[in-house]
Every structure is written in C-alpha cells, then in structure tokens.
C-alpha cells in the first residue's frame, strides 16, 4: 500500500509523542543497541532551554509556543473559558507542569483491576518505583516559604489532620505537608522525563528524534498492520516512518484519540459523518474523559518572602466521608494569587496574595473528545462535562472545600498573614452561592486521562487490553494517561511513569521487578523527612 511519498523510513519501534511516557520508552527500548527507535515529537528540544528547565518558571510556559492550549466546549455547569494546556516540548507535560509527584494509591490500582485491567494491581505496579530515574524528593528546606509552613500548621491545628513528612512514604487518608517534587533543589531544575531518561542517552546511535514534527495519520503497511505514520516537519515537508516491530502511541489523552480517529479508528458512526474511512470500529476512543477539577479562593497579603520551589509547594488532603478508602478533597496552597478565572468574574487581583484550590480527587463526571473535522489541523472538541455527575458529588466537594479553606485561613499562624478574602469574599456563605462561584471560577490542574482506556476482552468500550494493545489491530500499543480506566486520586505524573516502565517490560518481555522491591524513588532521590514539625509521625 503506497501513499505516493516514496520510501518509508524503517525503525523497529516508532514512538508517537516524546512526552512523559515516550521518553521512558525511548530510553528503555534503546538499551538494546540493536533496536532502532524513532520518537516523533511535535515540539522542540528542552536541552539547554532555561525557560523549560527552571521549575519555578512553569506558569510562564502556559499560553506560549510550548503550549497547544486546547479549549473546551461550553460547560453549562462549569467554566467554559478553561484553557487545557498540553505541552509542546520534549518531555511533554513533565517539562511543563509543577512536577508534584505522588505514587498512585493501592486502592486506585485495585479499582483499575475491577474495571478489567488485569495485571495492574498494586503488587505488580508499585514495585516499578524502584526503576524510576527521576530524582523525586520532598521540597527542600531552603525552598519552604514561611507562609507555606504556617499554612501546614494552620491546617493541622484547624482540622486535626497529621503532618505528612513524605507523601510517598506510605498511603495516607489525610494530612498536610510539603509535596514531593521531581527536581534538583541545588539548581531549581526539573527532573522531568526528558532530563531523567533521555538527556543521558541522546547520543545513542539507535535513537532518532524527529522534533517539531507532527504525526497526523496512521496508515497500514503491506502486511496489513497499522505500522506507518505520516509526519509533517516544521518546514512543511512530509515523510512516512514505519514501525517494523511495534507502533507506540504516547501522544496523551487528547492527541492519542485524536490521531486514532483521524486515522479511521474510533466510533464508526462519528467517523463516517466526517467522511473518514473506518479502519476499526472502536466506540470507546475519545470517551471516558477524566480530569481533576478544582476551584479557587484568594486572599490578599502583604509582600511575602521570595523562596519557593514552584509557588505551590504545600497541600492538604482531607477524608470527609469515612466510608472512602482515601482522601476525597485536596487543596493546593499557592503563594501567588492565581486569579485567571476570578478576574473574568469581576474580582480584583491583589498586588500580593495567596490562594487555596479545593480539588476533586475522584471526580465522578465523565466527558468525551471528538473530531470537529477530518482536517488534522483542526483542533478536536473537548467536553469535560464538569460538575454533571447525577449525585452532585463533584459540586459538593468544591463547596465543602471552600468552607474548609476558610476554616484553615481563620486559624493562626496563617491568619496573621492575610489582609482580606478577595474572591469570593466573605459575603458569599450559602451553599447555592458558593456552588455558583466555585463552579464558575473552576479550572483544571491539567490531568486529562481515560480516553483510550484499558479493559477486559469482553468490554466493548475498552480501547486497549491489559497489555496496552490496541483492540482490533496488530502491533500497536497505547502508553500514556489515556489508558487509565479511572483517574488516580493524586497528581498522575508518576502513574504515567510507572505505566511506561511496565509497558517497556510488556513490549520486550523483560521480567517485572520483584513484589518486595519498593524502595525509595530514583537512584539519587532522598526520601528524608522534612516536615515543619520535626519528627512528628504521619499517623494519628
């Protein structure tokens, strides 16, 4: 089968997407010097780019040339103005985000198994933490701002939750503390997937990087496999790369289902409406869109000390419902006023300020992604359907989170830093008013997932099987957050890293780590305890 482009460039593996998972796979697969690997990445390299490398600069990457900046369709019960940043740079979102790093909770992985992801139980997945190359550690003492210390103290005293010195030491149900980050405290540089996995191996002769190159269509090879990828370079020229062993899709929860649908793999009715020839009818492609929605409450302060790792170094987890196996509310504490959505509602932006962001860890709302056009240059439609779960769980979580945030803010020593509540302001107190504000001021922490979810063979809506193999095709796997059946309670980057490490074993046949091998993160990442209350334990 020919597309008129001349010869294909052959490789053993073609990885579409040089993001968090793609970097792991590229590094692991090229450990075999006889294995030729090509990575197709739409963005530039991060090597030597200080704007990307400096973790604290993350907020200044949003809305720039490093950001695809996808929008959402109208959200009748949420915020229709959210921009869903997706990274356009080597390392993907690990080169773009705050690098808050949590191991997934065991119960989250057990939930995956209940959804048909056999072999993704905690005993199998969690030992892969021993293979992670990133340096992951709690925020260094020099980066711990006094107001963040006082936030932790106030949360502990107001809510009677424990200090958590290391959120990755063992599973927890609630607590406040400084996050673990994938970074180098000495330099403030990221320990992203590209830094940790790809930078040390960029000179391997069997590794080819096609940067600023957009993969826009998958094609069949002569043997019928979906093994060829049409790629457009920055100068507008096209080429075709071919995977002789496997094609690995790592473009993320937006662009992996987008690429599949553009290639004729997805809901047949939708594809036919757009005039796309159907190769494989997979109704689950683009469905089950997940996210962690959150709202924001803002206070004015005076000038604050400048030290920080990335301006959101500490957080709080609460288990409001004792029947839940883990926390059901998360709050990030920002040492800057995050007002992009409150300004639009007419609230002022103080010259100095802080905010808390009540977050829904296990959102029950489900959305979907679909194509607006068969033209690869037209962005897909994203509908997260925020706050539409029938039981009202997500809405209640935000309302209660706003009230809990106020309770923490009214407690010393944090109280002494705060001049006034700017948004929504102390006048909003009823459940109805707080719900309306909380939903309209809501935003995302950029955790889309689930749009190519894995499941059992008899699940017609599953897109990949538990080996991450694309249903109905040979030699294609999906390895990114789109395969998650459900969203982890916590920030999902480490779960993506673990997924990619396990995928490398599934691809190569290498043995998985022993179940007992769950030592600390990384080769050089200390897991020391640095809590603001010294050696106080993490259990009450």
Q: Which residues are catalytic?
A: 447
Structure tokens given for 239 = 């080429």
- Residue 231, helix vs strand vs coil: strand
DSSP 126-182: GGGGGG--S-EEEPPGGG--HHHHHHHHHHHHHHT--B-S-TTSS--SSEEEEPEEE
What DSSP designation does 32 have? S
Residue 243's nearest CA partner among 471, 477, 24 is: 477
| Contact (CB, 8 A) for 457 and 118 | no
| CA distance linking residue 300 with residue 305, whole number of Å | 15
Residue 503's nearest CA partner among 474, 473, 471, 464 is: 464
Residue 318's nearest CA partner among 510, 172, 534 is: 172
Residue 211's nearest CA partner among 92, 59, 93 is: 92
With b meaning 16 or more CB within 10 Å and e meaning fewer, what string describes 119-143?
ebebebbbbbbbbbbbbbbbbbeeb
| CA distance linking residue 293 with residue 30, whole number of Å | 37
Cα Rg of the chain (Å, integer): 23
C-beta atoms surrounding 324 within 10 Å = 15
Residue 495's nearest CA partner among 43, 42, 108 is: 108
Segments of 284-415 assigned E as strands: 293-294, 297-301, 314-318, 329-334, 353-359, 368-370, 381-383
| Contact (CB, 8 A) for 528 and 365 | no
Q: What are phi and psi of 70, to 5 degrees?
A: -75, 140
Residues 6+ apart with CB under 8 A from 209: 18, 38, 39, 41, 45, 90, 202
Residue 42's nearest CA partner among 229, 276, 199 is: 229
By CB atoms closer than 10 A (0-12, 13-18, 19+), residue 6 is: exposed
Angle between helices 493-508 and 20-29 (to 10 degrees): 30
Element (H, E) at 269: helix 268-273
């Amino acid at each position: 089968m020919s597309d008129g482009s001349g010869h294909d460039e052959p490789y053993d593996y073609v990885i579409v997407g040089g993001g968090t998972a793609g970097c792991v796979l590229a590094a692991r697969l090229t450990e075999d010097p006889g294995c030729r690997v090509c990575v197709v990445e739409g963005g530039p390299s991060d090597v030597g780019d200080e704007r990307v490398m400096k973790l604290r600069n993350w907020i200044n990457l949003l809305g720039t040339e490093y950001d695809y900046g996808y929008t959402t369709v109208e959200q009748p019960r949420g915020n229709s103005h959210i921009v869903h940043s997706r990274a356009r740079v080597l390392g993907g979102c690990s080169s773009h985000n705050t690098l808050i790093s949590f191991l997934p909770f065991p119960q989250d992985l057990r939930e995956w198994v209940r959804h048909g992801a056999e072999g993704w139980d905690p005993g199998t997945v969690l030992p892969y933490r021993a293979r992670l190359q990133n340096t992951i550690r709690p925020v260094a003492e020099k980066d711990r701002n006094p107001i963040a210390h006082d936030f932790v103290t106030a949360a502990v005293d107001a809510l009677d939750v424990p200090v958590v010195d290391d959120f990755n030491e063992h599973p927890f149900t609630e607590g406040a503390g400084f996050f673990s980050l994938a970074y180098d405290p000495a330099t403030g540089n990221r320990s992203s997937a590209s830094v940790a996995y790809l930078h040390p191996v960029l000179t391997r002769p069997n590794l080819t990087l096609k940067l600023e190159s957009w993969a826009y269509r998958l094609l069949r090879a002569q043997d019928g496999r979906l093994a060829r990828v049409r790629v457009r370079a920055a100068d507008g020229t096209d080429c075709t790369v071919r995977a002789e062993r496997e094609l690995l899709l790592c473009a993320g929860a937006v662009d992996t289902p987008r690429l599949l649908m553009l290639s004729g793999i997805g809901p047949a009715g939708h594809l036919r409406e757009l005039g796309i020839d159907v190769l494989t009818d997979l109704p689950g492609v683009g469905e089950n869109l997940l996210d962690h929605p959150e709202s924001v409450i803002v206070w004015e302060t005076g000038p604050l000390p400048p030290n920080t790792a990335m301006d959101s170094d500490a957080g709080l987890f609460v288990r409001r419902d004792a029947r839940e196996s883990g926390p059901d509310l998360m709050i990030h504490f920002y040492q800057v006023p995050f007002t992009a959505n409150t300004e639009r509602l007419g609230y002022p932006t103080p010259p100095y300020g802080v905010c808390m962001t009540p977050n829904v860890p296990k959102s029950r709302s489900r959305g979907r992604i679909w194509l607006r056009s068969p033209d690869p240059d037209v962005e897909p439609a994203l509908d997260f359907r925020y706050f539409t779960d029938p039981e009202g769980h997500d809405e209640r979580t935000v309302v209660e989170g706003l009230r809990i945030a106020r309770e923490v803010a009214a407690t010393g020593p944090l109280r002494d830093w705060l001049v006034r509540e700017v948004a929504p302001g102390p006048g909003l107190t009823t459940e109805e008013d707080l719900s309306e504000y909380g939903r309209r001021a809501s935003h995302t922490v950029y955790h889309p997932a689930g749009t190519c979810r894995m499941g059992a063979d008899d699940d017609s809506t599953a897109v990949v099987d538990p080996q991450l193999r694309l249903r109905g095709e040979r030699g294609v796997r999906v390895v990114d957050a789109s395969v998650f059946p459900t969203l982890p309670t916590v920030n999902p980057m480490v779960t993506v890293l673990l997924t990619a490490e396990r995928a490398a074993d599934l691809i190569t046949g290498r043995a998985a780590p022993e179940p007992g091998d769950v030592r600390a993160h990384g080769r050089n990442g200390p897991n020391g305890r640095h809590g603001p209350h010294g050696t106080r334990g993490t259990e009450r």
